[in-house]
Amino acid sequence: MQNAAQNNTDNDTGKNTEKNPSAPLEQLAALLEDEMKAVNALILQHMQSGIPVIPELAGHLIAAGGKRVRPLLAVAAADMLGYRGEKHHKLAASVEFIHTATLLHDDVVDDSDRRRGKASAHTVFGNEAAVLVGDFLFSRAFQLMVEIGSLDILRVLADASATISEGEVLQLTTKNNIAAGEENYMKVIRAKTAELFAAACEAGGMAAGGTAEQCAALRCYGENLGIAFQMIDDLLDYRDADAALGKNTGDDFREGKMTLPLLLALAEADAEEKAFWQRTCGDLKQQDGDFETACAIMARHGIFEKGLEKAAAYGRAAQQAIAPFAEETRIYPLLHALIDFVLARRH
């Protein structure tokens, strides 16, 4: 695997990506358009229920679209192994349901003041409905997997689900703990984000009847892509209003989540800055202008660049992991380029 990976540095795909970093994800979606149409049809079909509020609430998140990155990965992984059946459609829909259930449950908060101005599902429909519809989607995910009929795929996704909730709990219990270090952060993002990326890719390989080695390589790709993806996401939560182009920023800051930029800033902090982070993110005693100050401190220490460097290392590991598939010329180049796309995100 490592030899193949080395052949692959500085390849053409990488250069193309620099010119148009959004291309690979869109190209992947275009290339797999028929597959993804089938997946979307399954998603819409299986989110139906005799209880009208269920598709309404689920649709609030699902029908809105989103990039469908996780189901796209599952489909791409199977396709790259030459699979032309339909099992991976159900798998991909299932993965999207697990992701959506997680989002719904993520949005349930104890203190509704904490997510100001954000019309998340729980504020529109209430905490209880958001929880219960999340449970419904989660159950639907398992119903779809039962239909696939593979205990191995079921195991991968059941394990992933348990790990995701562990990661979410760990994040919750280490929130506002300025002493929680990078090891804790890595545990959290491996579990809450990378695990489902990994499971989607691995199970995609399984649906295609891939060998154990192929499935492990796909898993490794997904995991490292997921880590890089989450790191960039966390870094971008501290971009200032000008760079945000109307997107939400500062959510992690307002909740005092111990994410990568904060950890990197803490490592560079003098006494005054440390006191600032303790007050704002440790004690959650925030006042107007604090987020702008936080962004200014981040910029002064070059935190984005430092974080990007860390994320890029995981991105390279992801690219190495799929090197054994380099001879496949349809999907492989796009999965390779997708890493550069993720690392090039600025919004």
Query: Which parts of this chain interact with a copy of itself (CB under 8 A)?
Result: 49-51, 53-54, 101-102, 105, 108-110, 126-129, 131-136, 138-140, 142-143, 145-146, 149, 151, 154-155, 158-159, 161-162, 164-166, 168-170, 172-173
CB of 34 to a copy of itself, least distance (A): 28
DSSP element (H, E) containing 52: none
Closer to a copy of itself at the Cβ: 131 or 178?
131
Contact 185, 233 (CB under 8 A): no
CB of 146 to a copy of itself, least distance (A): 5
Amino acid, single-letter form, for residue 123: T
CB of 235 to a copy of itself, least distance (A): 24
Closer to a copy of itself at the Cβ: 17 or 193?
193
Instruction: Quickly list DSSP for 189-241.
Output: HIIIIIHHHHHHHHHHHHHTT--HHHHHHHHHHHHHHHHHHHHHHHHHTT--H
Write the CA distances from 254 to 228, 290, 296, integer angstroms.
Answer: 23, 9, 16
Burial 169-203 (b: 16+ CB within 10 A, else e): ebbeebbeebebeeebbbbbbbbbbbbbbbbbbbb
**CB neighbour list of residue 167: distance below 8 Å, 6 or more residues apart:** 187, 188, 189, 190, 191, 192, 193, 195
CB of 236 to a copy of itself, least distance (A): 23
Closer to a copy of itself at the Cβ: 23 or 196?
196
Closer to a copy of itself at the Cβ: 16 or 49?
49
Closer to a copy of itself at the Cβ: 72 or 153?
153
CB of 43 to a copy of itself, least distance (A): 15
**CA nearest to 91, candidates 11, 2, 209:** 209
Amino acid, single-letter form, for residue 76: A
CB of 280 to a copy of itself, least distance (A): 21
CB of 129 to a copy of itself, least distance (A): 6
Instruction: Quickly list DSSP for 88-115.
Output: HHHHHHHHHHHHHHHHHHHT--S-GGGG
- 323: DSSP letter: G
Closer to a copy of itself at the Cβ: 51 or 241?
51
Closer to a copy of itself at the Cβ: 60 or 105?
105
